[in-house]
């Protein structure tokens, strides 16, 4: 897992429509980069819907929201249509960004050990520096926690 204060690894991945999207495209904006295990699973669907519901608040903060999983572009297209997701979802079947950000890890479920994406969110500043790392986030509260981070109560 990457740490706060370092340069975020750049990547170029395809979105649900086959368009290439790079982290560098967002220079000058904050980026909320969240990695999730799989489209159309209960936790991932709740997390995506929470980001969708709060999308206007992220835009008010000039923050782009980008979700990444290893699912295909076609899977992402169906997922985005089913839940009316307004933000970018990128396909990383080769695990390029997933491994670069250190979220491909050993997971244990019911005593079975396997490799998979650990649900993690990074907040990247306008200059491409990681300013916040949120490992093992909860799908239901992740979007709200990030908004709270972006808009701290004084």
**Whole-number Å distance between alpha carbons of 30 and 138:** 21
Mean pLDDT of 8-22: 97
Range of the domain at 145: 12-149
Has residue 31 been placed in a domain?
Answer: yes
**Catalytic residue check, 44:** yes
What percent of the chain clears pLDDT 90, i.e. is strictly above it?
92
What local confidence, expressed as pLDDT, does residue 13 receive?
98
Which SS3 state, helix, strand or coil, does residue 102 take? coil
Has residue 1 been placed in a domain?
Answer: no
Has residue 7 been placed in a domain?
Answer: no
Mean pLDDT of 134-141: 94
Has residue 82 been placed in a domain?
Answer: yes
Annotated catalytic residue, options 32, 44, 80, 143: 44
Name every residue whose Cβ is closer than 8 Å to that of residue 50 and which is 6 or more positions away in sequence.
139, 140, 141, 142, 143, 144
Q: What is the mean pLDDT of the chain?
A: 95
63-69/88-91 β-pairing: parallel
With 70 as the cut, is the pLDDT of residue 154 above it?
A: no
Mean pLDDT of 63-88: 97
What local confidence, expressed as pLDDT, does residue 152 receive?
77
Mean pLDDT of 101-126: 94
What local confidence, expressed as pLDDT, does residue 79 receive?
97
With 90 as the cut, is the pLDDT of residue 108 above it?
A: no
Can you spell out the DSSP letters for 8-42?
Answer: PPP-EEEETTS-EEEGGGGTTSEEEEEE-S-TTSH
88-91/104-109 β-pairing: unpaired
Considering all CA atoms of the chain, what is the largest pairwise distance in Å, rounded to the nearest integer?
Answer: 45
| Predicted model pTM | 0.95
The enclosing domain of 100 has a CATH number of: 3.40.30.10
Question: E strands of the chain, at which residues?
Answer: 12-15, 20-22, 30-35, 63-69, 88-91, 104-109, 112-117, 120-124, 130-134
């Amino acid at each position: 897992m990457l740490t706060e204060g370092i340069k975020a690894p750049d990547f170029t991945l395809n979105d649900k429509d086959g368009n290439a999207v790079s982290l560098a495209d967002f220079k000058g904006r904050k980026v909320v980069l969240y990695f999730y295990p799989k489209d159309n699973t209960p936790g991932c669907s709740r997390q995506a819907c929470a980001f969708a519901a709060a999308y206007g608040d992220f835009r008010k903060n000039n923050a782009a929201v980008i979700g990444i999983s290893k699912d295909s572009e076609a899977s992402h297209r169906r997922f985005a249509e089913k839940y009316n997701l307004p933000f970018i979802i990128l396909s990383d079947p080769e695990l390029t960004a997933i491994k670069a950000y250190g979220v491909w890890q050993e997971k244990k479920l019911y005593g079975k050990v396997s490799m998979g994406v650990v649900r993690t969110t990074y907040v990247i500043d306008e200059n491409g520096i990681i300013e916040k790392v949120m490992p093992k986030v909860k799908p239901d509260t992740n979007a709200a926690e990030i908004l709270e981070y972006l808009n701290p109560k004084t």
